[in-house]
Amino acid sequence: MELPFLSIGEASRLIKKKEISPKELTESVLDRISKLDGKLNSYITVMAEKACDAAKRAEEEISSGAYRGPLHGIPLGLKDIFVMKGVPATCGSKMLENFFPPYDATVTKKILDAGAVIIGKNNMDEFAMGSSTETSYFGPTKNPWDIERVPGGSSGGSAAATAASLCLGSVGTDTGGSIRQPASFCGVVGMKPTYGRVSRFGMIAFASSLDQAGPITKTVEDTALILNAISGHDPRDSTCVNTPAPDFTLSLKDGLKGVKVGVPGEYFIPGMDKEVEEAAKKAIALVGDLGGEIIGISLPHTEYAVLTYYIIAPSEASSNLARYDGVKYGFRAADAGTLRDMYFRTRAEGFGDEVKRRIMLGTYALSAGYYDAYYLKAQRVRTLIKRDFDEAFEKVDVIMAPTAPEVAFRFGEKTGDPIKMYLSDVLTIPCNIAGLPGISIPCGFSTDGLPIGIQVLGKPFDEGSVIHVAHAYEQHAGWKERRPGI
Ligand code: GLN
């Protein structure tokens, strides 16, 4: 098999046995990027030289016996939302086009400490706002299964690069579905850990109470390997909890006897793509055949999740994005006469339309007189949504449902209608609102050959059960080996 097609698990076992070298693996991935990324646009920055140096270092360490673990010498992508010292971190925006961060995000540092080779920064929707990677200032990423279609978003670059083997895996972020939805559209695995499991330090903020980093990989095993590396307490992020992270590879077990799997009726929404519905139901039936006990449940406030999200997320975004004023970071408009003029023009020229829309929505929702009616009310509904899950998890261990109501759509299909775009996340958002862990894994293909995803959600800090169910299903489902023919 060509080296870039290996999973992280496979590659790392070969590296450990010294049957392949990090250098040849990294070079083969870089080679594939130079051949294919002109078509896909899954990277904003490719760090060929730095990656080769890192691979060489990994090789020297491994041959001298200083093996660091399963990510040692593995070429990974990183969504361009994580800062890395001396490498541009654009967040998909003109505003940060020339921003060279002076430090590493905790995720970046942990990946580097694990000995991984960061090969480049993946394309994304501007400031992670979007579901299709079409809002990137650096142009859209194409879906490797059909380049006329979107890869999903906002971590579309990470998902497309992983699916097309332009990295062995990547780390993305999920505020309302941005890891799971693109994973579903690109036929790969993507996991949003529990809020607080992974540090947000150095991860450019969108909506701070929802944002969470997580792996995008080819297999569930690979997700466990990356999650092991990036989890854990960080004193520099006060919302990163101080509970010990278990070894997630211990959850890679087969057989689901005794596992109670809840299926929420509300997630099979009217208007959902029939092929998606069928594939999801088949996947759930297989989980039943593997010993899982399938239990119908209700999450009655599901229909309010998108509405709640589009108050909370823009509100937090409007506050977080106030820092881009032309003084502290990145872009500054030229020839402004006054300070006020400079602020106005910098923000007018530096941000794209979707970001401006969110800032306006959020500023409105937080303004005096409207705060109680919108933001406070949304926070109350948030509690109701969380309570639905608490009650469901008294009866079940995990919840299974489709990741998105559709397969990858065509470019331009939703850009003219923001509400249509927002509804792409109708099934992923509740998990963020409640702060739960969730994984999306491939569960079939449409007649057009487009991937379909199913998600498994778990109790807070019980990523283990989520990984167990996803892995057991993956072993028997038969989608793991299917790759885009690009
Ligand atoms: N698509 C959602 C949004 O536009 C979620 C994005 C995300 O998870 N970063 O806000």
pLDDT of amino acid 167: 98
Give me the torsion for CA of 96, 99, 104, 109, rounded to 10°: 60
The candidate with the shortest Cα–Cα distance to 137, out of 355, 346, 423, is: 355
pLDDT of amino acid 329: 87
**What does 75-107 look like in DSSP terms, one character per residue?**
EEEEETTB-BTTB---TT-GGGTT---SS--HH
Q: Which of 23, 79, 109, 480 is catalytic?
A: 79
Q: What is the spatial distance between Cα 39 and Cα 299, in angstroms, rounded to a whole number?
A: 42
What are the distances in angstroms from CA 267 to CA 277, 308, 389, 425, 435?
10, 17, 13, 12, 18
Number of domains forming the structure of the chain: 1
Q: Which of 7, 158, 178, 465 is catalytic?
A: 178
pLDDT of amino acid 454: 98
CA 348 to chain centre: 28
The answer to whether the CB of 248 falls within 8 A of the CB of 242 is no
- Look at residue 454 and tell me if it is in a domain: no
pLDDT by position in tens, the chain (length 486)? 799 999 999 999 999 999 999 999 999 999 999 999 999 999 999 999 999 999 999 999 999 999 999 999 999 999 999 999 999 999 999 999 999 999 999 999 999 999 999 999 999 999 999 999 999 999 999 999 999 999 999 999 999 999 999 999 999 999 999 999 999 999 999 999 999 999 999 999 999 999 999 999 999 999 999 999 999 999 999 999 999 899 999 999 999 999 999 999 999 999 999 999 999 999 999 999 999 999 999 999 999 999 999 999 999 999 999 999 999 888 999 999 999 999 999 999 999 999 999 999 999 999 999 999 999 999 999 999 999 999 999 999 999 999 999 999 999 999 999 999 999 999 999 999 999 999 999 999 999 999 999 999 999 999 999 999 999 999 999 998 899 998
Closest Cα to atom 10, ligand 1: which residue? 129
| pTM of the model as a whole | 0.98
The residues near 4 (Cβ < 8 Å, ≥ 6 apart) are 25, 28, 29, 32, 165, 166, 168
Atom of ligand 1 nearest to the CA of 354: 4
446 is an active site residue: no
Q: Which two tokens stand for residue 234?
A: 């960080």
Atom of ligand 1 nearest to the CA of 358: 10
- Look at residue 461 and tell me if it is in a domain: no
Contacts 24+ apart (CB under 8 A), 318-322: 318/358, 318/359, 318/360, 318/361, 318/362, 318/363, 318/366, 319/362, 319/366, 320/205, 320/206, 320/207, 320/208, 321/127, 321/351, 321/355, 321/359
154 is an active site residue: yes
Q: Which two tokens stand for residue 59?
A: 């090789």
Percent of the chain with pLDDT over 70: 100
Query: Burial of 435 by CB count in 10 Å (0-12 exposed, 13-18 middle, 19+ buried)?
Result: buried
Q: How far is the CA of 60 from the centre of ligand 1 (A)?
A: 41
Mutate to test the pocket of ligand 1, among 81, 122, 154 (most ligand atoms within 8 A of CB): 154
Other CB atoms within 10 Å distance of the CB of residue 296 = 9
- The 3-class secondary structure across 153-178, one letter per residue, is CCCHHHHHHHHCCCCCEEEEECCCCC
- Look at residue 460 and tell me if it is in a domain: no
pLDDT of amino acid 481: 84
Closest Cα to atom 5, ligand 1: which residue? 176
User: What is the CATH classification number for the domain harbouring 229?
Assistant: 3.90.1300.10
Q: Which domain holds residue 117?
A: 3-256
Q: What is the spatial distance between Cα 351 and Cα 331, in angstroms, rounded to a whole number?
A: 10
List ligand 1's pocket residues with C-beta within 6 A.
Answer: 128-131, 154, 174-178, 206, 313, 425
Q: What is the spatial distance between Cα 308 and Cα 240, in angstroms, rounded to a whole number?
A: 23
Q: What is the spatial distance between Cα 116 and Cα 318, in angstroms, rounded to a whole number?
A: 35
Q: Strand pairing of 293-297 and 43-46? A: unpaired
Other CB atoms within 10 Å distance of the CB of residue 213 = 29
Q: How far is the CA of 215 from the centre of ligand 1 (A)?
A: 16
Q: Strand pairing of 75-79 and 293-297? A: unpaired
274 is an active site residue: no
- Look at residue 350 and tell me if it is in a domain: no
